């Protein structure tokens, strides 16, 4: 096991910092920044490959951190405490951070009654991370993301997901036609697939919708809502009942409510 010591902001340090902070750099190198014990463990447990590890004073690392370093064929770098503090987002600087390699997603749907979640141009990192976490909690099989959204590989998204990022496959929809092709393919595979869109202006309550069949749930952007095109594909448009003086919910909260209701109904029908 080799460890390279870095005592100043050299090219290696600048690159890892740019991977953390720059979307274009992540995309070009197909690598991303991960911090936190749970996130690193969940990444490794779900077969994501480490590219490089960063820490201070290897001999003082916890047994967990040493095991990660010993058991992965990665490039290892020992930083000064000041450099590590600059790299870490934690109030108490992390003892270990990692750069992981992006990988091809396994999009095979094994469930006979799947839940697909479509997010139209999500724009807030914390929201997307929390939605991924709820999707993991409520049995979503695949997350679809359209348009110019926040980068799902952003370290704030991954941190907010609390490890769930590494458990659920996701697919980017680059055009309306690509999404329509996906819908067509899924309707052939799941002939009773129902497409449900959320809207504040809908007349039908979420409590009146039947979610027991395979579901493709369409959720809109935080400000603009769901694009008009997607409503034309929906079999049903529903709303969450709220007090009249509340005009909307946070996207992550609204998505979690929908996913909870889908699972609640399915548990009752079993």
pLDDT by residue (tens digit) across 80-111? 999 999 999 999 999 999 999 999 988 889 89
- Statement to judge: residues 243 and 133 lie in one domain: yes
Task: State the DSSP H helix or E strand holding residue 135, giving kind and residue range, or none if neither.
Answer: helix 125-137
Residue 52 counted as domain residue:
yes
- Specify whether the CB–CB gap between 22 and 43 falls below 8 A: no
- Statement to judge: residues 256 and 130 lie in one domain: yes
Residue 106 counted as domain residue:
no
Residue 60 counted as domain residue:
yes
Contacts of 152 (CB under 8 A, 6+ apart): 128, 132, 145, 165, 170
CA nearest neighbour of 15 among 71, 73, 77, 107: 77
- Statement to judge: residues 157 and 63 lie in one domain: no
Output the CA–CA distances (angstroms, integers) from residue 25 to 5, 19, 31, 158, 245, in the order listed: 24, 6, 8, 17, 44
CA 162 to chain centre: 10
- The pLDDT-based confidence of 270 (bands split at 50, 70, 90) is confident
Question: For the chain, percent helix, then strand, then coil, each to nearest 5?
Answer: 40, 20, 40
- Statement to judge: residues 124 and 233 lie in one domain: yes
Is the four-CA dihedral 50, 52, 53, 59 of positive or negative sign? positive
- Specify whether the CB–CB gap between 19 and 92 falls below 8 A: no
CA nearest neighbour of 230 among 132, 145, 125: 145
Last residue of a domain, one of 71, 101, 131: 101
Residue 18 has φ and ψ, to the nearest 5°, of -70, -35
What's the DSSP call for residue 240? -
Q: How many CA atoms lie within 13 A of 47 on its CB side?
A: 6
- Statement to judge: residues 38 and 141 lie in one domain: no
Domain count for the chain, please give it: 2
pLDDT by residue (tens digit) across 28-39? 999 999 999 999
Residue 107 counted as domain residue:
no
pLDDT by residue (tens digit) across 18-59? 999 999 999 999 999 999 999 999 999 999 999 999 999 999
User: What is the pLDDT, as a whole number, of residue 224?
Assistant: 76
Domain range enclosing 19: 3-101
pLDDT by residue (tens digit) across 166-178? 999 999 999 999 9
Last residue of a domain, one of 59, 74, 101: 101
pLDDT by residue (tens digit) across 143-194? 999 988 899 999 999 999 999 999 999 999 999 999 999 999 999 999 899 9
- Statement to judge: residues 253 and 122 lie in one domain: yes
Last residue of a domain, one of 101, 127, 150: 101
* CATH number (domain holding residue 50): 3.30.1330.30
User: What is the pLDDT, as a whole number, of residue 197?
Assistant: 96
User: What is the pLDDT, as a whole number, of residue 200?
Assistant: 85
- Statement to judge: residues 57 and 155 lie in one domain: no
How far apart are alpha carbons 244 and 256 in whole angstroms?
21
How far apart are alpha carbons 258 and 202 in whole angstroms?
14
Residue 109 counted as domain residue:
no
Residue 123 counted as domain residue:
yes
CA nearest neighbour of 203 among 237, 250, 244: 237
Question: For 236-262, what is the mean pLDDT?
Answer: 89
Residue 108 counted as domain residue:
no
* CATH number (domain holding residue 173): 3.40.1280.10
- Statement to judge: residues 146 and 210 lie in one domain: yes
- Statement to judge: residues 150 and 90 lie in one domain: no
Residue 110 counted as domain residue:
no
The percent of residues in the chain predicted with pLDDT above 70, rounded, is 100
- Statement to judge: residues 145 and 63 lie in one domain: no
């Amino acid at each position: 096991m080799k460890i390279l010591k870095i005592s100043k902001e050299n090219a290696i340090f600048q690159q890892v910092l740019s991977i953390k902070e720059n979307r274009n750099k992540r995309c070009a190198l197909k690598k991303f920044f991960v911090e936190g014990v749970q996130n690193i463990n969940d990444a490794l447990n779900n077969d994501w490959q480490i590219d490089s590890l960063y820490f201070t004073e290897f001999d003082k690392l916890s047994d967990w951190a040493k095991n990660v370093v010993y058991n992965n064929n990665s490039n290892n770098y020992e930083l000064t405490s000041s450099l590590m503090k600059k790299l870490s987002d934690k109030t108490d600087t992390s003892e270990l951070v990692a750069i992981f390699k992006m990988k091809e997603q396994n999009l095979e749907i094994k469930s006979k009654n799947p839940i697909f979640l479509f997010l139209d141009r999500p724009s807030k990192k914390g929201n997307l991370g929390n939605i991924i976490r709820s999707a993991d909690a409520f049995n979503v099989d695949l997350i679809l993301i359209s348009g110019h959204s926040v980068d799902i590989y952003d370290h704030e998204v991954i941190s907010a997901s609390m490890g769930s990022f590494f458990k659920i496959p996701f697919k980017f929809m680059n055009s309306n036609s690509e999404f329509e092709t996906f819908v067509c393919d899924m309707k052939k595979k799941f002939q009773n697939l129902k497409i449900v869109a959320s809207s504040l202006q809908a007349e039908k309550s979420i409590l009146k919708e039947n979610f027991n069949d395979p579901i493709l749930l369409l959720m809109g952007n935080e400000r603009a809502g769901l694009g008009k095109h997607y409503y034309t594909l929906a079999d049903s448009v529903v709303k969450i009942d709220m007090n009249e003086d509340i005009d909307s919910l946070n996207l992550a909260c609204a998505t979690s409510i929908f996913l909870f209701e889908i699972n609640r109904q399915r548990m009752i029908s079993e």
